[in-house]
Amino acid sequence: MHSEVVSVDTGGHEAVVDLTSRCESFLSRIAAVDGLLHVFVPHATAGVAVLELGAGSDADLLDLLQLTVPAEGPRGDGWRHRHGSPGHGRDHVLPALVAPFAVVPVISGSLALGVWQSVALVDTNRDNPHRTVRLSFLADRGS
C-alpha cells in the first residue's frame, strides 16, 4: 500500500475543497495502475464527499448542512458539545452525515469517477483552517 498525507487550507470558513487533482497527482507519482484509492480526513469535524463541484452543488451542500444541522443546535438552544466558536458543536456531528472517507476505484492509473464527479473535503469548522488528508492506494495484486 502506498500512502501520503496532503495539507489543505480551508481559509477559516465553511468550505468544500476539490481534492481531485491532488488525488490524480498522487496516483501519478506512485505509478498506480488498478486498485482502490482511499481518501481519509483524520479530523473530528470534516468529511469527504464525491459530488459535482463548480456548478453550485458545493454551495448547495453547505446550505443543506446549515439547514439540516443548524448552528443553534437541534433544539434551538445550542449544542451540548460547546467548546470553540458558537455553533461549533454542529461541526462535530458532520462526520455522521458526510463520512470522513471515500473509496474510489482506480483503473489504468486514473480515478474511475463519473463525468461530473469530483473528490472533495467538506469542512464546516471555522476554528481550524488547516487540514490534512491521507491518500492511500491499495493495488490490485491480480493485475
- Arch. (CATH architecture) of 2-139: Sandwich (2.60)
What digits encode the pLDDT tens for the residues 35-79? 999 999 999 999 999 999 999 999 999 999 999 998 888 887 888
Q: Distance of CA 6 to CAs 14, 47, 62, 122, 135, Å?
A: 19, 15, 23, 15, 8
What digits encode the pLDDT tens for the residues 120-138? 999 999 899 999 999 999 9
In sequence order, what DSSP letters do the residues of 115-137 get, joined into one string?
Answer: TT-EEEEEE--TT--EEEEEEEE
pLDDT higher than 80, residue 82: no
The ranges assigned to domains in the chain are: 2-139
Total-model pTM: 0.93
pLDDT computed for residue 21 by the predictor? 98
